[in-house]
Amino acid sequence: MKYCFGVDLGGTAVKMGVFREDGHLIDKWDIPTDRTNSGKSIPGDIAGSLLEHREKLGIPAGDLLGIGVGVPGQAWPDGTVDAENLGWVRFPLIAGIESASGLRTVADNDANAAAMGEYWQGVGRGFRSLVLVTLGTGVGGGIVLDGLSLPGAHMAGGEIGHVRVEPGETRVCACGGYGCLEQYASATGCARMAREALQNSHEPSALRGIEVLDARAVWDAAKAGDRLALGVADKFCRYLARGLATLAAIVDPELFVLGGGVSGAGELLTRMTAAHYKTLAFQFCKDTPIVTATLGNDAGIYGSAALALRTFRQRLN
């Protein structure tokens, strides 16, 4: 049995896991992300922590295939990484981890890694292709086709949050564009649409005067039957369905997986989204299942471990 490491590098914590090549997670933990000194100590911190756990777990060095790392930004083919919230521009992450660990290392964008995780050991297991759409503060995404993620020529593959779903939008998105999916089908977009709905009507709603009007409050109220909240949730799902229908006519995956915080809304979210999707999708793709992710915050370490396995071994189980 061989082993590999999966790493999910975030802005505040680095999540790490040790996996058997059959996909079994043996141990997981995390360490704080040291952002001082432009994050220069991060590669050494990661390598040190992994080697420490290798020893603790009694895994022979020769049985370790390598390290996969999901990064919050662009992982370039030359091994460097751009990550805005770490202040990295072409930061030599791979070289740093490899020299500190003595292990071969490979990186991918964190959303792509999460998609790969769901594909390998999550809800996508057994499917040949999937698109993961993460509904968090923003909207991210990852595409997996026949076991390979789709990074794109400029590392923009799967940037589903920046597909324009509302050509008439006049508000600007964080990316500089207008009418991006992220402006509606994110936690932020959900809360904004709820504030607008409250301002634009006198309809009674449990959301009026609520202390924290966030996406969770909207979905909880919608589940309780609050009509105004249901209207906001419906709008959210309509935009999301536009994005999924677009994905279907381009990538045509076997499965859509919804992840990120808002996916906690569960069955109401998938049901309402699927209803809109059916009316919008290209004829052959109307029945593509839409499900919620199952690996939660571990998707990233699973996926980066799968990436390491695929890269440093020929066959992925």
Q: Which helix (H) or strand (E) holds 108?
A: strand 105-109
Name the minimum Å distance from CB 179 to its own copies: 10
Let me know if 169 is exposed, middle or buried by CB neighbors in 10 A (0-12, 13-18, 19+). Answer: middle
Compute the least distance from the CB of residue 86 to its own copies, in Å: 18
Q: Which two tokens stand for residue 265?
A: 């809304």
8, 29 in Cβ contact below 8 A? no
CA distance 289 to 286: 9
Q: Rule CB under 8 A: which residues touch its own copies?
A: 74, 128-129, 143, 145, 150-160, 162-168, 175-177, 242, 245-254, 280, 282-285, 288
Residue 102 backbone class (left: φ over 0; alpha: ψ -120 to 50; beta: rest): left
**Residue 54 or 238 with smaller CB distance to its own copies:** 238
Write down the least CB distance from residue 72 to its own copies, Å.
15
* Nearest to its own copies of 33, 112 (CB atom): 112
Angle between helices 267-280 and 227-250 (to 10 degrees): 50
Rounded-to-integer distance, Cα 18 and Cα 28, Å: 6
One-character DSSP codes across 236-253: HHHHHHHHHHHHHHHT--
CB nearer to its own copies: pick between 96 and 142: 142
Least Å distance between CB 230 and its own copies?
21
Return all residues near 233 (Cβ < 8 A) that are at least 6 apart: 190, 218, 219, 222, 265, 268, 269, 272
Closest alpha carbon to 110 in 288, 261, 308, 301: 301
- Closest distance to its own copies from the beta carbon of 207 (Å): 26
The nearer residue to its own copies, 289 or 296, going by C-beta atoms, is 289
| 53/310 with CB nearer its own copies | 310
* CB nearer its own copies, residue 57 or residue 249: 249
Please state the closest distance from residue 274 (CB atom) to its own copies, in A.
Answer: 16
Taking the least distance from each CB to its own copies, the nearer of 61 and 156 is: 156
CB of 9 to its own copies, least distance (A): 20
